[in-house]
Structure 1
Amino acid sequence: MRSTNIKNDLLKDIKVAVDKIIATDTQAMSTLNLTAALRHKILDILVSYSKDIPHPASGMAEHSGLSNTLIRWQVLAYVASIDLTIVKWFESHLDALSILNEIGYGKVAKGLWAVWAAEGHPDPLRYEQGKAIGHKAWCSGAGMVDYALVNYRNSNNQSQLMIIDMHQAGIEINNSEWQAVGMQATDTATVKFCGVSASLVGKENAYLDRAGFWHGAAGVAACWYGASACLASYLTTAYQQKPNDYKAMYLGEIGTALAITQQYLYYAADLIDTEPSLCHELAIRQLRAQIEKVARHTVEIVGQALGAAPFCRNAHFARLSADLPVFIRQSHGAFDLQKIGELTNLLHSNSTHGQANVWQL
């Protein structure tokens, strides 16, 4: 079993910087009830560390010998434990930088980036003579992002990436449809591009075909895990303050699930860093499915153990509990399990070790 006592100096520095920001707000210090202004201050600090946060699949850190992918996930999990809105913005920013790095784009402008890749709007985004025209839905941070890395379907119906400077005239942001309670503060909107300048980057299907697509998907799951672990810590504290049998039972149930999932995160990070050219789709789909299940279970079990009080009187607990069920719907539920089944069957069929059962020890 991998030890949980792992030294991550970058994470330590980020924690110190974030704690200093929170310490300036008396209310936030006592309740972790974040104002919009404080969220943006924390985000600005995090973005300032962007160049120090390793890309996924970038090997082992020189000084610590840690997996660089794990270092990245630890940062994301920590930010998620503070606030899922902030980590939603920050993960998208880091993902954009990693995508551009992977496809060999070196002219990355300073500022806040986002990846907006949802499809399905009836007036889809198009690229005509250097201009972006049409709509993009599900754009988190739409009103605050400096640069958007977006995809569209070209004339060959292939996915193509382009960069759009969001400080242009001709961009309309409509968040009237965003009625969420959980993740309400993410500033998620449908954006209309009315013939604004855009730059194509990468080859056709570079976004979907690169190995990093799945490496990035695992990073989102690390955010889910970070929030789940934080909610579980409230149960640990409650048991330490007032121990009883039923709290111990719930703590044992959740602690086991989180510990197993933690080990799988360590395994997946090592897998990505030791075989960076492979996408590891099956392993990462399984990781996401496991963390989604643990997240749902944690919200339910911790709530049963602690009752209504923290939902009603603890701003941080209440916010995480409301946000997490919405965030994990970035998973695709039954469709993901279907794909895991298909890939597992393929693994059985292609087994080269003479094993009839790939789960055999």
Structure 2
Amino acid sequence: MPPLPAALAVAPSETPTTGLSLVRPVLASFRTEPSPRGDGRTRHNLDVLAAAAADDLDVARLAEAHLDAVTILAELDGPPAPADSCWGVWAAEPPGVEVRARREGDTWCLTGQKPFCSGAAGPCTHALVTGHADDGRRLFAIDLAAPGIEVRADEWQALGMRGSAAATVDLTDVPAVAVGGAGAYLERPGFWHGAIAVAAAWYGGAVGVSAPLRRAGREGRLDDHGLAHLGAVDADLAAARTLLRAAADVLDDEAPGSWTEERRRALRVRAVVETAVDSALRRTGRALGPGPQAQDGDHARRVADLEIYVRQSHAERDLATLGELAADDQDLLP
């Protein structure tokens, strides 16, 4: 992807997208057989995501969605993902916008609009899409080569995450395969496991954004104030990494808990990682001033990407939900 000054000159209709050739090595690094979890596979996959995000958040965003899709297909007994496919998960449902699902015999058809579809204008070959049927909200698998799909990539105006190929997708009688039953997508504990994977990508992005600060420390270019910022970032990132790996080990070694237990774990992880992200963004800028963002296109892109990616968090709303779940402190005691 070009550095930020070049990206600034790109019209929205010419937004550069991340190609499958860049995403494929990350997808190939995931361990998903015989399932995406167990035997250390969760920790391995989260480490892969974090490493990818430290280098390129667009690539990591697309890889995270594919990993989520493959995991969902395994959990809900969906159709197997074809070899060399790249999947998106399109579940955003802002007010007034929805996809309707209509059953015709043994098949389903989807009609409606989906916003914020990462990978739609880029590498994705398939997608999992939420839609509303007569019996409730369902999840469906679609082949993006099917008729009736129109991708509108010119609505993404943000400078950040331009390469993730997010677009609005219009669906008209698109053939689909139901994955799980009504409500299964949100009701499974694995929904919250996917939320932890998103946090792993945020964490990797924070490592990448703070790299100029660590480099300045190694080169002896930081005064006491700069070293204090570096120390704080180091502590925040270490806490985030520790909690991510502890969560991964639980997911690998234990049977899923209740939906509430998994939700609490995920919200804790995301809150701690988001704190580390905020620390890396704010303290790197305060310690080093405008130089890195003004003169280093790769760093400027990472900052813009991470600032918009982390807004997948619901911020104080998530903290309020975590607060409602935090009355029981038994697991905090020695």
**TM-score range for the pair, normalised by the shorter chain length:** 0.7 to 0.9
Q: Give 1:218 deviation, angstroms.
A: 0.1
Q: Give 1:319 deviation, angstroms.
A: 0.9
Give the letter for the 2:114 counterpart.
K
Asked if 1:171 is matched to 2:171, the reply is no
2:294 — aligned with what?
Answer: 312
Give the letter for the 1:316 counterpart.
D
Asked if 1:284 is matched to 2:262, the reply is no
- Structure-2 change in CA distance of 1:102 and 1:337 (3 Å): same
2:48 — aligned with what?
Answer: 75
1:88 — aligned with what?
Answer: 61
1:21 — aligned with what?
Answer: none
Q: Give 1:177 deviation, angstroms.
A: 2.4
2:71 — aligned with what?
Answer: 98
- Structure-2 change in CA distance of 1:52 and 1:210 (3 Å): closer
TM-score, normalised with respect to structure 2: 0.87
Give the letter for the 1:216 counterpart.
G
After superposition, the C-alpha distances for 1:248-293 in whole angstroms (9 at most, x for unaligned) are 2111111111112221112111222222322521121011011112
Asked if 1:113 is matched to 2:113, the reply is no
Aligned 8 A contact 2:267 2:322 in 1: yes
After superposition, the C-alpha distances for 1:189-221 in whole angstroms (9 at most, x for unaligned) are 111111121111211211111121111100000
1:218 — aligned with what?
Answer: 196
Give the letter for the 2:91 counterpart.
A
Identity of aligned residues (%): 34
Q: Which structure 1 residue ranges, 5 or more long, are not aligned?
A: 1-24, 29-34, 61-66, 352-357
Bigger relative CO (Cα 8 Å, ≥ 6 apart): 2
Give the superposed CA RMSD.
Answer: 2.3
- Structure-2 change in CA distance of 1:207 and 1:80 (3 Å): same
- Structure-2 change in CA distance of 1:177 and 1:211 (3 Å): same
TM-score, normalised with respect to structure 1: 0.81
Q: Give 1:92 deviation, angstroms.
A: 0.5
- Counterpart CA distance in 2 for 1:312 and 1:199 is 48
Q: Give 1:336 deviation, angstroms.
A: 0.4
After superposition, the C-alpha distances for 1:208-259 in whole angstroms (9 at most, x for unaligned) are 1112111110000000001112222321111111343222211111111111
Aligned 8 A contact 1:159 1:208 in 2: no
After superposition, the C-alpha distances for 1:317-361 in whole angstroms (9 at most, x for unaligned) are 11111111100110101110111011112x25xx6xxxxxx6444
Provide runs of 4+ in structure 1 moved above 6 Å: none
2:8 — aligned with what?
Answer: none
- Structure-2 change in CA distance of 1:248 and 1:313 (3 Å): same
